[in-house]
């Protein structure tokens, strides 16, 4: 796979073909890519809500009714929609669950390694919680890493995608009961296949030239 060509081909879809659905096997591959996304100190402060049925995508689209109506069709006509959620806090039970999973997956050669990993991760959490006081922002940055993983992964599988911040998070959080579960919505991503009405599909990609982006020391 030519990853450069893949990055050049990927774009944000503006109109979906409502008649086309992403195959189940393709979705499972995308979900596994999401699960394997990188995060700082393997903190994994995310959750993903997936909507496939018309009525479920309509629930998500309600968050665009006021102020973001231009995004409604992108949600309603998509094959699937994923709501990227971030934790509202970093609870001890989550840190314990991550550590236990690492142990089950054979990440530690001895007890000291397990203790060191736990201490190091908690040190970063406390750094952002107490010293820099930006733990929420820190966790959101990890969730955006997962977003990048999904977008490139979707392109590699021939699936079109549209990431959207244009929605009312309060409305969506209430609709999905996210805050009661310790999460808040961050980004909505529609997946599917573009329609003939997607003007963006035929436009050339535009990025700043490399000389203005890179400094080589």
Burial class (CB in 10 A: 0-12, 13-18, 19+), 210: exposed
Residue among 65, 39, 48 at smallest CA distance from 145: 39
Residue whose C-alpha is closest to residue 134's, from 30, 45, 13: 45
Phi-psi sector, 67: left (phi>0), alpha (psi -120 to 50), beta: left
Count of other CB atoms within 10 angstroms of residue 34: 18
Active site residue 21: no
Catalytic residue (one of 165, 170, 181, 205): 165
14 in active site: yes
112 is catalytic: no
Q: Three-state DSSP class for 164?
A: strand
Catalytic residues: 14, 74, 165
């Amino acid at each position: 796979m030519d990853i450069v060509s893949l990055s050049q081909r990927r774009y944000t879809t503006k109109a979906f073909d409502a008649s086309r659905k992403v195959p189940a096997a393709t979705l499972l591959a995308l979900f596994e890519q999401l699960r394997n996304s990188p995060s700082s100190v393997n903190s994994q402060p995310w959750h993903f809500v997936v909507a496939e049925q018309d009525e479920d995508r309509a629930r998500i689209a309600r968050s665009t009714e006021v102020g973001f109506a231009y995004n409604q069709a992108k949600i309603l006509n998509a094959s699937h929609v994923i709501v990227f959620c971030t934790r509202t806090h970093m609870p001890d039970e989550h840190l314990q669950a991550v550590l236990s999973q690492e142990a089950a997956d054979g990440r530690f050669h001895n007890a000291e390694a397990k203790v060191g990993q736990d201490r190091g991760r908690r040190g970063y959490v406390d750094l952002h919680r107490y010293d820099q006081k930006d733990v929420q922002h820190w966790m959101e940055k990890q969730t955006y890493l997962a977003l990048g993983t999904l977008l490139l992964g979707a392109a590699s599988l021939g699936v079109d995608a549209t990431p959207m911040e244009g929605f009312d998070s309060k409305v969506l959080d209430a609709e999905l009961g996210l805050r009661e579960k310790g999460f808040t919505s961050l980004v909505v991503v529609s997946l599917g296949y573009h329609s003939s009405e997607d003007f963006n599909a035929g436009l050339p990609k535009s990025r700043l030239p490399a000389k203005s982006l890179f400094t080589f020391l």
